Structure 1
Amino acid sequence: MKTFQTYSEVIASVGQEVAVTDWITITQEQVNQFAEATGDHQWIHVDPERARSGPFGAPIAHGFLTLSLIPRFFESAFAIEGARMGVNYGLNRVRFTSPVPVGSRLRARLTLQAAEPLEPEGLQMTWLVTVEREGADKPACVAESLARSYGARA
């Protein structure tokens, strides 16, 4: 995990890949829970038997489930000393570039694209998040994520 001591250290990292997370495994239980939470019960996600004869040969995770892992990836990849709070500020661009079959292992590469001070005592960061699937040629998801941090030293 990368630990920044100040917002100035974060700003100095603009343009760099800051972290590569550990792998996490996507389970059918996660997919089913996501379907329950969102109401998206499409068979390609929640019916493993039917999905085996579908276009991907297995059930796949919802694209938005993959996207929703970004806070988990951030949490495990970097910290800012003294920050009281971090918030998701939104997304600029998201693409789901390949499917995520249940049982896949995912990790994220985090590249800091921009960092701008917010008054008082805050920082807005723009992250390029590339979610990789182990063994796949293409990433599962590429997103530009905006995050804000409050309370650390400048």
Structure 2
Amino acid sequence: MSKVIIKSFDELEKLIGSELGISEYHQFTQEQINLFADATLDHQWIHVDEEKAKEGPFGSTIAHGYLTVSILPHLWNQIVDVQNLKMQVNYGIEKLKFNAPVKVNDKVRLHAWVVDAKNLRGVTKATIGIKLEIEGGRKPAYEGEIVFLYHFNA
């Protein structure tokens, strides 16, 4: 899979409305879910108690919603290579809606497209549409938009 290379505001602006691509699949293991629970102090049984979760609404543990969001940079970097940068800032997440749980051992991949690009006095504000697809799932885990500020070199 080849990455989309973006080196300037002008190149990004030309991609508005365009599909950027789809990442490789990432599988969420119970170990990764447990480590995230430890890092965030969120040990709700639906995430970490494998026996109790078997009797729960999903039949197994599920990944934290915010764990699935936290891998966005990893998946995004598989799709796009933004070059010629002084700095990149994660500016925000908009319209994020969780649609379906990600069960332990599910595989997910990121689908991304350019919604908008604005030049704010030399800083590029990029709005990227995202959908986290679950392999074999009817609905995506979530949909929304991520916003980056790119400070391109002149």
**Where on the TM-score scale, by shorter chain, does this alignment land: which range?**
over 0.9
Larger mean Cα displacement after TM superposition, 142-151 or 42-51? 142-151
**Secondary structure of 2:99's match?**
coil
The answer to whether the 8 Å contact 1:59/1:102 transfers is yes
The answer to whether the 8 Å contact 1:98/1:138 transfers is yes
* CA deviation profile, 1:86-119 (whole Å, cap 9, x unmatched): 1110112111100100101110110110001132
**Structure 1 Cα separation of the partners of residues 96 and 151 of structure 2:** 25
Structure 1 length-normalised TM: 0.93
Q: CA shift at 1:10, angstroms?
A: 0.7
**Structure 2 Cα separation of the partners of residues 5 and 95 of structure 1:** 30
Residue number among 58, 65, 86 corresponding to 1:63 in the alignment? 65
Deviation >3 Å, runs of 4+: none
Residue number among 89, 99, 103 corresponding to 1:97 in the alignment? 99
Q: CA shift at 1:24, angstroms?
A: 0.7
Structure 2 length-normalised TM: 0.93
Unaligned runs of at least 5 residues, structure 2 = none
The answer to whether the 8 Å contact 2:9/2:152 transfers is no
The answer to whether the 8 Å contact 1:88/1:147 transfers is yes
Q: How does 1:1-150 map to 2 (within 5 A)?
A: 1-120=3-122, 122-150=123-151
Unaligned runs of at least 5 residues, structure 1 = none
The answer to whether the 8 Å contact 1:14/1:115 transfers is yes
The answer to whether the 8 Å contact 1:7/1:80 transfers is no
**Secondary structure of 1:84's match?**
strand
Q: CA shift at 1:34, angstroms?
A: 1.0
Percent sequence identity is 36
Q: CA shift at 1:39, angstroms?
A: 1.2
Larger mean Cα displacement after TM superposition, 98-107 or 77-86? 77-86
* CA deviation profile, 1:18-67 (whole Å, cap 9, x unmatched): 11111111111111111111111100000111111111001000111111
